[in-house]
Amino acid sequence: MIWPFGPRRRLAVDATTIEGLTPTQPWLDRLSNPERERLAALMAEFLTVKTLTGVQGLELSDDMRLAIAAQACLPVLQLSLSHYGTFNEVVIHPSSFEVRRTLTDDLGLVTEWEDVLSGETLDGGPVVLAWDAAAGIDPNDPEALQPGNVVIHEFAHKLDLADGEADGCPPMPLALARRWRPALDAAYEQFCRQLDDLEAALPANIDPESEAADAWYAALPLDPYAATDPAEFFAVGCEAFFTDDGVFARAFPDLNACFVAYFRQDPATLRPL
């Protein structure tokens, strides 16, 4: 499988490419040989139909493009790229980037602030990523991998937005949708209760926003950001579903069963080759 990288130049994408990505994406090691071949084909298609653009001086190498393509294609391994809709660009910053937010309340009061992000998905627009997060390496410990996966997270939002609404429910057959909504709502409410209970139990000398609280939050099955709303719960849940070796499946078995039916994959049952 080949990807036309530019004029008179081609880049090979095959099962060997997948093997080369596993040091920073170990979940890829669970794939069977046919699945690796399928992923390679999807990556080649992805890099043909999507434009990857480095900004703020970031020059994208072949390895960077392949790493992003592998993570983006993993969720749709048994589906197709059409599930992501018709957007055509992935914008990559070197590191976390700022986005100005504006909120007008019911009284007309306008509040503005800067969000610092490692990823953002624009409805009808591009996926925006920070390379240091997409690379999967912890900047504070180059020998360690970052938890979660920002690429899967943002592309999960694209799946969710395929019907025009960010609500944690991507388009799916009616029979699955009837199971999905109750399972998602129950799992979301369960997680929010777990988070509330944990924060209520934090010692008075522990700032919930400090690094000292990290060990407490690590007991949760998902990153606390999942409690933001059902759309973020779905996106964070997708990160865990594909990368956490079964923690998500054990914490939310009913929703995990829906994820298995939707993605046509069951990562929790797979083991490295």
Nearest-angstrom CA–CA distance, 6 and 255: 42
H or E stretch including 29?
Answer: none
pLDDT at 154: 97
Could you tell me where the beta strands, DSSP code E, fall in 196-257? none
Contacts of 90 (CB under 8 A, 6+ apart): 50, 51, 52, 53, 68, 72, 126, 127, 128, 129
Residue-level length of the chain: 273
pLDDT at 53: 94
Contacts of 141 (CB under 8 A, 6+ apart): none
Per the CB < 8 A criterion, the answer to whether 60 and 52 are in contact is yes
Question: Could you tell me the CA-to-CA distances from 131 to 43, 50, 97, 174, 210 in Å, in that order?
Answer: 18, 17, 10, 37, 24
Mean pLDDT split into 10-residue runs, the chain, 273 residues? 46 84 90 92 93 94 94 96 94 84 67 74 92 78 68 97 95 97 98 96 85 88 96 97 93 98 90 43
pLDDT digits 0-9 by tens, 90-106: 999 998 877 776 766 67
User: Which SS3 state, helix, strand or coil, does residue 43 take?
Assistant: helix
pLDDT digits 0-9 by tens, 74-90: 999 999 999 999 899 99
Nearest-angstrom CA–CA distance, 143 and 182: 41
pLDDT at 7: 40
pLDDT at 103: 66
List phi, psi (to 5°) of 86: -105, 10
Per the CB < 8 A criterion, the answer to whether 97 and 130 are in contact is yes
Residue type, 132: D
Contacts of 135 (CB under 8 A, 6+ apart): 24, 64, 67
Residue type, 59: E
- pTM across the whole model: 0.89
pLDDT at 10: 57
CB burial readout 244-267, b (16+ within 10 A) else e: beeebbebbeebbebbbbbbebeb
